[in-house]
Amino acid sequence: MSSEPKHKLTVKVGDALRTVQADTHDEFVDEVRNAHDSLQACYDLLQAAKAVGNFAATPAPAATPAAAPAQAPAAFSDAVAQAPIGPDGQPMVPKTGTSAKGPWKGWFDARGKGFSDPIFLNRGTPEWNNFPA
C-alpha cells in the first residue's frame, strides 16, 4: 500500500500553500469541510488587506473636496489600517529587503520567524507602492 494519500488538495492562499488530504473519499470530504472556514478566513483577510491597500493608493482629486472615507474592513483596527492581522490577533510587521531576484516587501509575524507565513507583496501593485516600510 502506498504511503501517499489517495485524495489530496493543495490551495494557495496569498503566498502560503494549505493542503487537505485523506485516504478515503468520505474522510477527504470531512477534512475539506473542516478546512473550509479556516481557508475562507485567510482568503477574506487577504481580500481585506488588498482593499485597504487599494483604498490608500487612491488620492482624492485636489480640486474636489474629498468624500467621506470608506469604512476599513472589520479585520483591521483603525490605528493600523494597512497592517494585516496575524494568527495571534496582532498586526503584522512590515519588512523590506533585497534578494538575488531584487527588492522584496512583506508583512511578517511580530513574534518572529516560524510562527506564521509572511505575506509578500507583488511589485508594481498599489500595496507595493504604498508600503509603510
Cα–Cα dist 26/13, whole Å: 24
The larger pLDDT score, comparing residue 48 to residue 30, is at 30
Cell numbers standing for residue 121: 507583496
Does 125 have pLDDT greater than 70? Answer: yes
Can you give the residue ranges of every domain in the chain? 7-129
Percent of the chain whose predicted confidence (pLDDT) is above 70 = 69
Cα–Cα dist 94/112, whole Å: 12
Instruction: Name the pTM for this structure.
Output: 0.39
